[in-house]
Chain A
Amino acid sequence: MVSIEDYGNFETAWCPGCGNFGILKAIKQALVNLGRSPHEVLVASGIGQSSKTPHYLNCNGFNGLHGRSLPPATGAKIANHELTVIAVTGDGDCYGEGGNHFLHTVRRNPDITMIVHDNQIYGLTKGQASPTSEIGMKTKVQTHGVFNMPLNPLSLAISLDCSFVARGYAGKVSHLTSLIEKAIEHKGLSLVDVLQPCVSFNKLNTFKWYSERVYEMEDTGYELNNRVKAFEKSMEWGEKIPLGVFYVNEKPTFGDYLDVLRSGPLYKNKPAPEKVNDLIDGFV
């Protein structure tokens, strides 16, 4: 039996009251609920406060470069598809610096779970606008207020036919835990965008602000595999902010297209230099 203690208990570099704590707890609980042992799990991340997560989880970790959580996660999943691969990233890391990887990883559809700590601000660099910051938000850089349109990650993912799209909230840990469980169990790329207050730098989107707006749409009879309706739902933002699974489309994953993986993990295949002789014959 796997227990929550197996995933460790580390001192963190996060601010007291940070939304990251709720997300970390939900990740651990989801992995325990699914019975995954730490050695079977890989958490890949980029750079940012969220991307320190691999250091606070007792499992395999690849803490890479800013914006680049997805490519190493994809590579690792190809090399060893028996690993449960989770990419932990943030709104700046994933939607800004790594935006192109996000688009193309959705297209590629590897069996990976993405957890995006979306606090609508840059925390690690101390409070500049992120791709999801709201119009009008003033920062030390955006001194006249943000005027670039915020990116809607859910609409973007649904428009690309991402195979699993959900939104959670760091203030609702048990709901978030169940979303992460579903996302991990889903075969294909799953996006869990997590609304997360930044207590130090985002004075606009606070715990109070979110708590007054979010609601769980599981109770509303919402259907999961209608892409157009999901797109429409993903645009609901303001007085009411829906949480839950927006869209599911079961389709072949990247790995399903690779016949070579049928016999076992790629990295276990034995090299055979002598087989090259057949190819050499073609040049003689």
Chain B
Amino acid sequence: MNIDLNIKVGGAAGQGLQTTGMALAKTLKKSGFHVFATQYYLSRVRGGHNTFKIRISDSPIAAMTESVDLLLALDSQSIDKHLSEVKDGVVVVDADVVKVNSSSESIFHVPMLEIAKDVCGDKIYSNSVSMGAVIGLLCLDMSDLEEILKASFKKKGEEIIQKNINAARAGYDHVKEHYPGGCKFSVSDPGEKENMMLISGNEAVGLGALAAGVQFLSAYPMTPSTGVMTYVAANADKFNAVVEQAEDELAALNMVLGASYAGARSMTTTSGGGFALMAEALGLAGMTETPAVIFLCQRPGPATGLPTMTEQGDLQFVLTAAQGEFPRCILAPGTPEECFYLTAEAFNIADKYQIPVFVLSDQYLADSLFTSKRFDPSKITVERHLLSDSELRTKKEEYKRYKLTPLGISPRALPGQEGVLVLSDSDEHDEFGHICEDAENRIKMNDKRMKKLEVLRDEISVAKVYGNPNASTSLIGWGSTYGPLAEVVDILTAKGKSVNLIHFTHIHPLPVEATKKLLSKAKKTVCVENNSTCQFSRHLKLEADVKITENILRFDGEPFSPEFIIAALKEKEVI
């Protein structure tokens, strides 16, 4: 990694922080850098103190580091709170607008408002001035920013585009002329421009669902899951899908089950609190053997918790939610690429096994922007496992929705198909779907449902190893911790340490033997999770009888950084 630089934009909600941050992230990605960006925002629409942080590198990155090289301060809190993170960097601020309480040498005044007024006659262009200033400090060419501004303001017309470009150029020129450090932050263009995407986890889940042919999505808005709902809604017309905002989460999952029963590929999106309301319908999916995909984007709980922050605190809840026993599957992507392919896989598993399947994400993965290899939709297959009309015509015996079969999977027909009647029931039922309270039938039906979990266990993917497969220490992570953990492995391996990462995406059911084998190689196993009670460690112990030697936990609402993990490994004397 030759280039590794952090840019932080800080300001109040409503100050155009996101627009500025997004435009810079897109520009830098366009210039060929690997870009990783996170937002820290509070649960409010105006005011507060928020940040947009962009890390750029010439190597793949999927984590945020803690230092700041370039701080663009749109309010005085940005300086008060983040100046200490700027070690050898620069703070760009319009001191005519923002009260500066520090006399630090890092502070560099750019009269953005004055420039905007002079050049464009309106202070609203000062955000574009600031973008130009940042690109100037990095000593990059202006052309990529100009392209991004053109695209961003396309709908507003030629005049507005030109004014924004002029404002950005003026900011750029001001820096070139006045910044005493010259090209101190110069980064060379790495040039890898083709086929890389800048995409968030939520957008990737939405894309995966569309690629998988989602036909119906019903949900109730809840941060941080809402992005998937809005992404699918924005593209629903093109993809022949229906999105309906339900009156509550009870209705959302029940509607999904009705639609799925009648043949539509269906999903819901929610966070932990909303999922608490869906628990009963989860059991309904289990009992009626109705396929459903549940996108659950975690945030810290309990109750309302920290609505805009991150945690992996719902795993044990998702594993056991709803009364009774029934099979479910949990997939936890760690990158947008995994979000895309695993969401599509979730639909296929749901249809094949007629069970609820979770895509378990969190705020960090949902909202961060990653530079990702272009997704390949040709790798996605849509497997519905439905009886065709012609298959039904040749059937000799009367159709039984819950026919007992060796694998526990009953051939699925749809209501409306001629020659069959499809009866689904939340009560224990016989093979036809009729209420049945007979003990022998109960055992058969319970066995049938649970059998599907074992069949799925045999075909599910085992965890992936990143780094040296024979390392003496294995870091163990699941879902969104992939980025920071992979970087820790890179850093420590470069220092001669024998460390790898075992990254789990298929959380439940676990392939027991393969998992045991994988985790028995290293002398030390360190499970790293964004919760306070070692939820995944406990799952490994219970399901695969694997004992983890150390746990590194974080539950302050923030994601892991490589620095945090390395400090914890040192403290626990693992390295």
Enumerate chain A interface residues (CB-CB to B < 8 A). Answer: 13, 38-40, 42, 44, 47, 52, 54-55, 58-65, 67-68, 70-80, 82-83, 100-101, 103-104, 108, 258-260, 265-277, 279-280, 283-284
Contacts and interface: CB of A to CB of B under 8 A. Distances in A.
B78 interface: no
A82 B197 contact: no
Contacts of A277: 377
Given A61-B424, A62-B261, A273-B378, A39 B419 contact: yes
21 contacts: A59-B421, A62-B288, A63-B425, A70-B251, A72-B261, A75-B260, A78-B259, A79-B259, A79-B263, A100-B248, A100-B251, A104-B247, A260-B240, A266-B242, A267-B215, A267-B263, A269-B215, A273-B211, A276-B207, A280-B375, A284-B196
Nearest to B434: A55
B262 A273 contact: no
Interface of B: 195-199, 203, 207, 210-213, 215-216, 218, 235-242, 244, 246-248, 250-252, 254-266, 280-281, 284, 288, 344, 374-375, 377-378, 380-382, 414-427, 433-435
Contacts of B244: 78, 108
Contact of B422 (A60, A75, A273): A60
Contacts of B199: 283
B197 A284 contact: yes
B262 A83 contact: yes
Contacts of B262: 42, 75-77, 79-80, 83, 267
Given A71-B252, A75-B257, A267-B414, 19 more contacts: A13-B435, A47-B426, A55-B435, A61-B425, A61-B433, A64-B258, A68-B250, A68-B284, A72-B257, A75-B218, A75-B256, A78-B216, A78-B242, A79-B215, A79-B258, A101-B250, A258-B242, A274-B378, A280-B207
B416 A276 contact: no
The 5 closest A-B pairs by CB, nearest first: A271-B213, A75-B258, A72-B258, A267-B263, A75-B259
Given A63-B425, A63-B426, A71-B255, A83 B415 contact: yes
A76 B258 contact: yes
Contacts of B198: 283
Nearest to B375: A280
Given A42-B415, A259-B237, A75 B254 contact: yes
A156 to B, nearest CB: 15
A186 to B, nearest CB: 20
A195 B466 CA distance: 67
Contacts of B215: 79, 266-267, 269
Main SS of chain A's interface residues? helix
Nearest to A107: B247
B427 A276 contact: no
Given A260-B237, A260-B241, A63 B254 contact: no
Contact of B415 (A76, A101, A108, A269): A76
A173 B426 CA distance: 29
A46 to B, nearest CB: 9
Contact of A276 (B211, B251, B260, B263): B211
A268 B215 CA distance: 9
A67 B241 CA distance: 27
> Could you say which of B212, B284, B424 has the most chain A C-beta atoms within 10 Å of its C-beta?
B424
Contacts of B422: 60-61
A101 B251 contact: yes
Contacts of A74: 255, 258
Nearest to B248: A100
B435 A68 contact: no
Nearest to A41: B415
A181 to B, nearest CB: 21
Contact of B238 (A65, A77, A275): A275
A83 B262 CA distance: 9
Contacts of A271: 211-213, 265, 382
Contacts of B212: 271, 273
A265 B212 CA distance: 18
A270 B266 CA distance: 14
Given A274-B377, A274-B378, A283-B203, A267 B195 contact: no
Contacts of B419: 39
A38 B415 CA distance: 10
Contacts of B416: 39-40, 42, 60, 80, 82-83, 265
Given A59-B421, A259-B237, A279-B207, A266 B264 contact: yes
B259 to A, nearest CB: 4
A112 to B, nearest CB: 10
B291 to A, nearest CB: 12
B145 to A, nearest CB: 17
Contacts of A270: 213
> Could you say which of A67, A68, A100 has the most chain B C-beta atoms within 10 Å of its C-beta?
A68
A71 B417 contact: no
B426 A280 contact: no
B417 A65 contact: no
A256 B244 CA distance: 14
B251 A71 contact: yes
Nearest to B215: A266
B254 A68 contact: yes
A269 B215 CA distance: 8
B517 to A, nearest CB: 34
> Could you say which of B210, B237, B281, B416 has the most chain A C-beta atoms within 10 Å of its C-beta?
B416
Contacts of A63: 423-427, 435
A11 to B, nearest CB: 11
Contacts of B421: 38-39, 58-61
Contact of B195 (A64, A73, A284): A284
Given A271-B212, A272-B213, A80 B237 contact: no
